[in-house]
Amino acid sequence: MSIDPQKRIYVLNRSEHPVMVFDLEGNFIKSWGEGYFTRAHGSCINSDEFIYCTDDLNHTVTKFDLEGNALMVLGTKDQPSKTGYKSGPDLFESIASITHGGSPFNRPTGVDISSEGDIFVSDGYGNARIHKFNGDGTLLFSWGEPGPASSQFRLPHSLRVDRLDRIWLVDRENSRIQIFNKDGEFLTQWTNLFRPTDLWIDDEDIVYVSELCRRVSIFTINGELLARWGNEGHDVSDPLFVAPHGIAVDSKGDLYVGEVSLTSANIDRGSRTIQKFSRIQ
């Protein structure tokens, strides 16, 4: 999910309408992207009001204007890089098949833009890397290898760039967030998480994290836990969260949590898909 300056929320969708646009009350405005995507996954909107979207099945990252016109494509459609990755029904076996980090892309997941206009991409389900491009789409460098050590990844699932141009990488299957400077140097990591999927840093430097363990966690920029909630007090037949997959915060501090309702394994989780939580203080 991404939010533009006109307070419209852009939701990536795995069905026939890849990008759906709503107002902040959930009223549908429009959709676009048909013909561009195999499976839209992650997005960001930069200060120049362009939206960048990853596609983890056709192995591309595309820059659009906010009307849905494609302006630039990174990667070669349907041509994954060589990493040893073998796709299969078992996610963990597929991740374990990755033998080395590769060039862009093999199932890229997340994208964000630095204050200098550089493009950072997390890559991905079939790779173990972060790639840095300049604004024209020229690859500058990449870093990362499969594994549990610092600067190693097991499913880099999303990333964000903060106001200091630090790169926050959601290292999902290592259950942590790793933080790097803009040159790819490791700074620190947060491990008080379980299978995080996405993060958002708001204008007050509050960090919001969605986790597959059916919860949302909120931290200060320095890693102090402020709040955490999930399915406590909810009946198992009607949980608050099923599989949080994306997160966003608007200018009022209201929180949006997106979930995957139908998985690639054709498991229908029956989730509410998107929920909005209003800030109360």
Burial tier of 86 (Cβ tally within 10 Å: 0-12, 13-18, 19+): exposed
Q: Which ranges of the chain have pLDDT less than 70?
A: 233, 236, 261-272
Closest-CA residue to 154 (of 172, 135, 136, 130): 172
- Residue type present at position 223: G
pLDDT for 92 equals 95
CATH, domain range 2-191:
2.120.10.30
- Residue type present at position 126: G
Architecture of domain 197-281: Beta Barrel (2.40)
What is the per-residue pLDDT across 154-182, written as a single tens digit (0 to 9) for each? 999 999 999 999 999 999 999 999 999 99
pLDDT for 234 equals 74
- Residue type present at position 76: T
pLDDT for 160 equals 99
Q: What is the pTM of this model?
A: 0.94
pLDDT for 267 equals 54
- Long-range contacts, 143-147 (Cβ 8 Å, 24+): 143/101, 143/180, 143/184, 144/101, 145/100, 145/101, 146/95, 146/98, 146/99, 146/100, 146/101
Q: Which backbone phi and psi does 173 adopt, to 5 degrees?
A: -85, 0
Where are the chain's structural domains?
2-191, 197-281
